[in-house]
Amino acid sequence: MFKIEIRKALKNKLFLATLAIASAIALYAAVSVINLYNESIEMNKFSENQIGDINNPDLAMFTLFNSWISEEWSSSGQSLFFLMLPFFSSLAYSWSLCSEIKSGYIKHIVTRTNRKKYFMSKFFAVFISGGIVIVIPMLLNFMLVSSFIPAIKPDIFYDMYYASSTTTQAFSVLFFEHPFLFVGYRFLSAFIYSGLFAVLGMTVAFFVRNKFIVVAFPFLFSLTLSYISSYHFLPFVFSPVHFLHGGGEAYRTSAAVIICEAMALFLVTFITVRIKGEKDDIF
């Protein structure tokens, strides 16, 4: 059953269209940063050749680790990508349960197989598809940026140029000491939260039979968390849109908040799907 669901998730037209749009935005962000990097190099060359001014090249100021989409703040592409992340993740396959309930397809499935098996397969297929539709564009961005900007290890003396501050960002020690591990953490956290946003949309299908609401709910939920995070008296941000990429002094993140929020979202969605899927009349 899981193989059938994951095949349906990864081959449906909405998933592929969403993946294409998200990838285009991520690649646009990469091109923007690469152009900025090249402009910086040209300016240094001009100063040296025309003016005779030899400047410190500041190699650690522009590095792969603060130029890919999860760490840079200079392009409009990264802002749009993370703003739309909850919507993209839910658009991939969250609507499928609602669609199958409305079409009556689910009647034929649950009468031929175990309800628990069907809903758990659907849950994890939605989760995985939501994570993949976000992580693949991020990977494409990382690969393109790494082709033009060197992977110079971040230098703490240049921390004003980095979005991961040692005093405000969770796991920032990894950024300076083991930057590739930090990149792995960014990919993992993006996959998990994108998957959680996707299953959050699926969960709404038990209460609302409208595909637009199912897909839009994670986005509206994310906006609500962003609004709460905007209050300056709060010690840490609570919006995944804020803590899935570096924020420097603007957004203080907490490892405890990131982990606990993910666990809470998983438990709420998983338990709801188990209970409503196994016991409620979903016809």
d(C-alpha 104, C-alpha 85), whole Å: 30
Question: What is the average pLDDT score of the chain?
Answer: 85
d(C-alpha 42, C-alpha 38), whole Å: 6
Mean pLDDT value across residues 21-34: 96
- Is 247 a residue whose pLDDT tops 70? no
What interhelical angle do 115-146 and 2-11 show, nearest 10?
40
Structure tokens at 93: 């396959």
Task: Identify the pLDDT of residue 30.
Answer: 95
Structure tokens at 185: 């953490």
- At which residue do the structure tokens 């923007």 appear? 32
Task: Identify the pLDDT of residue 271.
Answer: 93
| Rounded percentage of the chain residues whose pLDDT exceeds 90 | 43
Contacts of 135 (CB under 8 A, 6+ apart): 187, 190, 191, 194
Task: Identify the pLDDT of residue 175.
Answer: 86
